[in-house]
Amino acid sequence: MWEAEVGNASWIVRKTLKAKQYLQAAGLQEQDLMQMDTFSINKIYMQLRGSFPKVPWRKVVCNNYGSAKWIFILRLIICGRILTRDRLVKWGITKDTSCPLCNTGVESVEHLFFSCVISANIWSRILAWQGIKRITGSWCQELAWALQSYKGNSATAEVYRMCLAGTTYYIWQERNARVFQKKQRSVDSIVKQIVQDVHCRGIVSAKLNRKLDSMNFYP
Ligand SMILES: [Zn+2]
């Protein structure tokens, strides 16, 4: 019993000393704490964390109902980290620069998303599914479009961001399937997969569900 109490006391002392270290790291001294009327954990956390510049694309990536793997690929594309053949050639990993989807263009982020005739076809059909009638642009234009016109919390904006993430993911997956497994799916099949997955993921939100109820067809 006595040993347990001593053990608890030493645990509390260790925790207190540790907390003191954290507070000092946040620039707070014991005297500052004693003079505080209210104590904000959030404020201290922000001081400990430091400040970081906000990247403009965070709203497309962070507020996205797409799956974790969709968001991961979208983030790689936005950051220019996806391993397209134009990058692999520079590293001497391959000499083949051709796009596995159309076999004519040079595979790069700009080509795959969505200058390529195959990926442009997929994205334009996903746009049409959302009732958007416009010609697909380059990746820079598409990203800028998403950031400017679909940054809010409306169901339309949230479905759009999810569609962008899902489409980029399935285009990248199709590219990998053709390169590594020598398997090929049709544009129809990929579009259907994106539509079905967006519907499935929209189930978690009543707002998205209502929006997707009006999109119960394949483009
Ligand atoms: Zn292509």
**Could you read off the pLDDT of 64-88 as tens digits, one per residue?**
999 999 999 999 999 999 999 999 9
Q: How far apart are CA 150 and CA 156, in angstroms?
A: 8
Q: Which residues of the chain have pLDDT under 70?
A: 1-7, 26, 37, 39, 45-53
Q: Give the pLDDT score at 197.
A: 96
Point out which residues pair with 106 in neighbouring strands.
98
Taking a C-beta distance cutoff of 8 angstroms, is the pair 171, 194 a contact? no
Q: How far apart are CA 166 and CA 60, in angstroms?
A: 12
Alpha carbon of 37 to ligand 1 centroid (Å)? 63
Alpha carbon of 82 to ligand 1 centroid (Å)? 16
Dihedral sign for Cα atoms in the order 198, 200, 205, 210 = positive
Q: Give the pLDDT score at 62.
A: 81
Going by the DSSP 8-state scheme, the letter that residue 161 receives in this structure is H
Q: Give the pLDDT score at 13.
A: 79
Host H or E run for residue 16 = helix 2-25
User: Which CA distances in Å does 44 have to 19, 41, 51, 140, 153?
Assistant: 11, 5, 12, 38, 29
Alpha carbon of 112 to ligand 1 centroid (Å)? 6
Tokens of 12: 């509390």
Alpha carbon of 131 to ligand 1 centroid (Å)? 25
Amino acid at 116: C
Alpha carbon of 119 to ligand 1 centroid (Å)? 7
Alpha carbon of 105 to ligand 1 centroid (Å)? 5
Alpha carbon of 108 to ligand 1 centroid (Å)? 9
Q: CB neighbours of 151 closer than 8 A, spacing ≥ 6?
A: 59, 60, 157
CA atoms within 13 A on the CB side of 172: 23
Q: Give the pLDDT score at 46.
A: 67
